[in-house]
Amino acid sequence: MDFSLNDDQQRLIATARKFTKEKIIPVAQKLDEHGTFPSEICKEGWELGLMNGEVPQEYGGLGLSTLDHVLMQEEINFGCAGIGTTLAGNNLAAMPLILAGTEEQKKNYLGQLTDSCSFAAYACSEPDAGSDVAGMRTTVRKVGDEWILNGIKRWITNGAYANWYTTFARTGDATDRHKGITCFVVPRDLPGVSVGRKEDKLGQRASNTCDIIYEDVKLTKAHLVGAEGQGFKVAMKTFDRSRPWIAAGATGIMRRALEECTKYATERKAFGQAIGQFQAIQFMLADMAMKYEATRLLMLKAAWNIGQGKLDAIESAYAKAFGADSAMQVATDAVQIFGGYGYTKEYPVEKLMRDAKLLQIYEGTSQIQRMVIGRSLIAAASAGV
Amino acid sequence: MLTELTDEQRLLRDTCREFAEKELKPNASAWDRAHTFPAEAVKKCAELGLFAVAVPEKWGGAGMDNVAYALAVEEISRGCASTGVTLSVSNSLYCDPVYKFGTDAQRERFLTPFASGQKLGCFGLTEPNAGSDAAEQRTLAVKKGDKYVINGTKNWITNGPVADAMVLFTITDPSKGTKGITAFLVETNAPGFLRQKADEKLGICASPSCTMFFDNLEVHESQRLGNEGDGFKIAMATLDGGRIGIAAQAIGIARAAFEGAREYAKVRKTFDVPISNHQAIQFMLADMATEISAAQLLTLRAASMKDAGVRHSRESSMAKLYASEMSGRVTDKSVQIHGGMGYSKELPIERHFRDARITEIYEGTSEIQRLVIANALLKA
């Protein structure tokens, strides 16, 4: 076992940390307040390679391992989880193409992301299909050599800014459930593609989330990602790879909360001493620190597994669920340590609490992670593993 | 028994429930978003006698009791948590101490117009460096002839931007610690009484609070509440009542979040069935309802002890501690049951989540409640 980081990893962390300190932290509060998309930060982050980390080098990306990527993401999320989600968005949209796309698709679409600062979005959720991905209603009808796409996608990160959408739609009957789902890459400039309303969210407000509407969009074989009916598998494999990123969102938020709180606890006085001298505060800080450390280890293990080619859904689910639930608790405790100040917009901890809540919801709620874990445990026991 | 309400209590509860359903619930999100103080709705609450439920009618109050008061705040908060705390401050933190510790002359000037709802009061205890540690007061009152000259700062004053008067806590003798604290009744339009703009908060955005400065504020000695040095005792006794109000507010918020989640669980489908068919969701709802009931019982116990005139510091703290943390858990679960929709401002659920958080902080943080409870346990 070796927990040390190599030189490349240390450099990557240092770059991301410097960028976070100089570019993200000074503006995060304001972007959150107005729900402003971080265009400038994305441009500068793109230059540094912070946007397309897992896009392979042959298509212009950094070709980072999941492990390196989460180390970088923790630093960004320390500054702002909304911006962290924005910068990670391209990776999520790219992953199905990386996993199942043709060489031509990769060159074209991944190339677009790395040629200039541009966005793509992962379009899976729908108004009536969130946790239940297989319940989706967006349909693709085959007409001759073409497909006609119709439906509404919801909660689409970077949706209003994306040039193309990695879209999951139903090619089979509704009764086919997950077997009837197919993945397509849908360029935004195709006739019939439009951007719907923007979500006004509790937190991660710098991140753009909106509806994408498809009305009789004509697609050809060139837009098909993987085989027909393989979409659900591609979506799930993508989530297995993306869930450690959410754990990185959690470690970023927790480390920030811990740093803000330890500083505040040494400065703020009550009953004649710094509140950090009270056992009640010390124990809260101790729990916060343990949750951060444990999440970080689960995240690193899940990421390391992916790098070893031993992708295991249960490991990603552990990291995501434990991380998200821990971050929510830690951010809530951070508000408590700050007391009245924690409840105001003057200090950063109320934002941490609002931002953390989304970690338990997107890319599979904490409940879905438990389903993945629970079923996997029962299946293994049934199989006598 | 606690579970038996009188006809009068039941009538007030039902009236408040109906009022909240009609006048508050449909508008609360808009007020939250615009950070608007709902002056019209608050005025209607005044007409219902909700500014001083437990103050005798002789002094402008509704002449009921603290159980009725707790029920009213719960129902109002279920519709709008901001309106709930506006009323809780009026009842518990302003009218109650003026009634209990004021002279008849003070009651005429500082209670009757407030209890009857023509005017609104606030409570000035917290300072930038005296939150949990309320004894660390720095606002100084120096006696000059028959007046006191007051200088200092108060912050997070709920109702502050819209209040007409304040129970103001000061230090009259810095050498005496908590025994040097003295309370005054002060009109907010007095010269030297300055108010900053309203605070920007995570939640209860329709309940304005602000920082206040006192710049050589002159107060006649006839406005002193109780004797010099009585201030800390007055503050602590007042908070024993205030905590009942906040517990009730926390319960109202939790109920709104719970009811939303129950409705949603019945209509939202995943895996071909309503999510209420999934055990994970059922158990969450079961926990939410159980915890709400427990908090209601703790709160009604504290309120009826106050009505009986027995010491209820520990019971008020237990009610406030449990109800506020319960409200945090219940509103969090409600967001979770709603999934993405719970995170969106389209539904009121994220507001309940934000609103609940303050109940663990104001009128004594959860940590202070634990201190009060532990002290009471260990002294016995």
**The pLDDT value given to residue A176:** 82
- Does A269 contact B269 at a Cβ distance shorter than 8 Å? no
A202 interface with B at CB cutoff 8 Å = yes
What pLDDT digit, counting tens, does each position of A251-293 carry? 999 999 999 999 999 999 999 999 999 999 999 999 999 999 9
Residue B85, amino acid: V
Q: Model confidence at A142, in pLDDT bands (50, 70, 90)? A: very high
- Among A125, A202, A340, the residue with its CB nearest the CB of B343 is A202
Q: Where are the alpha helices (DSSP H) in chain A?
A: 7-19, 25-34, 39-48, 66-79, 81-100, 103-105, 111-115, 231-267, 279-307, 313-342, 349-359, 366-382
Structural domain contains residue B357:
yes
CB pairs under 8 A between A and B: 110
B30, with CB counted inside 10 A (0-12, 13-18, 19+), is exposed
What pLDDT digit, counting tens, does each position of B111-130 carry? 999 999 999 999 999 999 99
Q: Model confidence at A366, in pLDDT bands (50, 70, 90)? A: very high
Q: Which of A54, A126, A260, A363 does the annotation list as catalytic? A: A363
CB B343 within 8 A of CB A365: no
B84 and B28 assigned to the same domain: yes
B237 and B375 assigned to the same domain: yes
Structural domain contains residue B243:
yes
CB B64 within 8 A of CB B96: no
**The pLDDT value given to residue A172:** 79
Please compute the mean of the pLDDT values over residues B257-278 and round it to a whole number. Answer: 96
Of the candidate ranges B124-133, B186-195, B217-226, the one whose mean pLDDT is the lowest: B124-133
Measured in residues, chain B has a length of 380
- Among B136, B156, B271, the residue with its CB nearest the CB of A132 is B271
**The pLDDT value given to residue A178:** 87
Model ipTM value: 0.86
Q: Which residues contact B290 (CB under 8 A, 6 or more apart)?
A: none
**The pLDDT value given to residue B187:** 98
Q: What are phi and psi of A65, to 5 degrees?
A: -75, 160
Rounded Cα–Cα distance for residues A89 and A161 (Å): 11
- Does B336 contact A336 at a Cβ distance shorter than 8 Å? no
A11 interface with B at CB cutoff 8 Å = no
Residue B3 has pLDDT above 70, yes or no: no
**Is A363 noted as a catalytic residue in this protein?**
yes
- DSSP helix/strand/coil, B5: coil
B125 and B73 assigned to the same domain: no
Please compute the mean of the pLDDT values over residues B329-349 and round it to a whole number. Answer: 97
Indicate which CATH number applies to the domain containing B176. 2.40.110.10
Q: Which chain A residues in 148-177 lie under 8 Å from chain B, judged by CB atoms?
A: 154-155
Structural domain contains residue B317:
yes
Nearest CA-CA partner of B240 in B342, B364, B143: B364
A343 interface with B at CB cutoff 8 Å = yes
Of the candidate ranges A16-20, A128-132, A253-257, A319-323, the one whose mean pLDDT is the lowest: A128-132
Which pair of structure tokens corresponds to residue B198? 């309203």
- Does A361 contact B339 at a Cβ distance shorter than 8 Å? yes
B24 and B82 assigned to the same domain: yes
Q: Which residues of chain A neighbour B131 with C-beta distances below 8 Å?
A: 270, 339-340
B165 and B225 assigned to the same domain: yes
Structural domain contains residue B275:
yes
Give domain A7-119's CATH architecture.
Answer: Orthogonal Bundle (1.10)
Structural domain contains residue B1:
no
Please compute the mean of the pLDDT values over residues B203-211 and round it to a whole number. Answer: 98
Q: Domain extents for chain A?
A: 7-119, 120-229, 233-382
CATH 3.40.50.720 at A233-382, yes or no: no
Nearest CA-CA partner of A66 in A89, A43, A91: A91
A308, with CB counted inside 10 A (0-12, 13-18, 19+), is exposed
Which pair of structure tokens corresponds to residue B88? 């809780």
B48 and B97 assigned to the same domain: yes
What CATH topology corresponds to A120-229?
Answer: Butyryl-CoA Dehydrogenase, subunit A; domain 2 (2.40.110)
Nearest CA-CA partner of A128 in B270, B350, B275, B262: B270
Please compute the mean of the pLDDT values over residues B79-103 and round it to a whole number. Answer: 98
Of the candidate ranges A181-195, A303-317, B6-20, B206-220, the one whose mean pLDDT is the lowest: A303-317
What pLDDT digit, counting tens, does each position of B20-56 carry? 999 999 999 999 999 999 999 999 999 999 999 999 9
Please compute the mean of the pLDDT values over residues A207-227 and round it to a whole number. Answer: 98
What pLDDT digit, counting tens, does each position of A63-113 carry? 999 999 999 999 999 999 999 999 999 999 999 999 999 999 999 999 999
Please compute the mean of the pLDDT values over residues A151-161 and round it to a whole number. Answer: 98
- Domain tally for chain B? 3
B301 and B321 assigned to the same domain: yes
- Does B270 contact A365 at a Cβ distance shorter than 8 Å? no
- Does B365 contact A336 at a Cβ distance shorter than 8 Å? yes
Q: What does DSSP say about strands B273-274 and A119-123: parallel, antiparallel, or unpaired?
A: unpaired
Half-sphere exposure of A190 (CA within 13 A, CB side): 24
The β-bridge partners of A274 are: A269
B248 and B348 assigned to the same domain: yes
**B252 vs A131: which has the higher pLDDT:** B252
**The pLDDT value given to residue B379:** 87
Residue B356 has pLDDT above 80, yes or no: yes
- Among B270, B340, B361, the residue with its CB nearest the CB of A132 is B270
Residue B133 has pLDDT above 80, yes or no: yes
Domain endpoint, select from B169, B197, B231 = B231
CB B103 within 8 A of CB B69: no
A332 interface with B at CB cutoff 8 Å = yes
Residue B2 has pLDDT above 80, yes or no: no
- Does B345 contact A201 at a Cβ distance shorter than 8 Å? yes
Residue B380 has pLDDT above 70, yes or no: no
Domain endpoint, select from B90, B115, B140 = B115
Structural domain contains residue B2:
no
Q: Which chain A residues in 87-116 lie under 8 Å from chain B, judged by CB atoms?
A: none
Residue A128 has pLDDT above 70, yes or no: yes
Residue A51 has pLDDT above 70, yes or no: yes
Q: Which domain holds residue B171?
A: 121-231
Residues of B labelled catalytic: 363
Tell me which of A343, A349, A371, A375 to substitute to probe the interface with B (most B C-beta atoms closer than 10 Å). A343
**The pLDDT value given to residue A337:** 98
CA distances from A46 to A29, A41, A87, A115, A246 (A): 21, 8, 8, 10, 20
B242 and B110 assigned to the same domain: no
The residue whose two tokens read 């050589």 is B216
Rounded Cα–Cα distance for residues A316 and A308 (Å): 14
Rounded Cα–Cα distance for residues A124 and A131 (Å): 10
Residue B312 has pLDDT above 80, yes or no: yes
Structural domain contains residue B311:
yes
B153 and B200 assigned to the same domain: yes
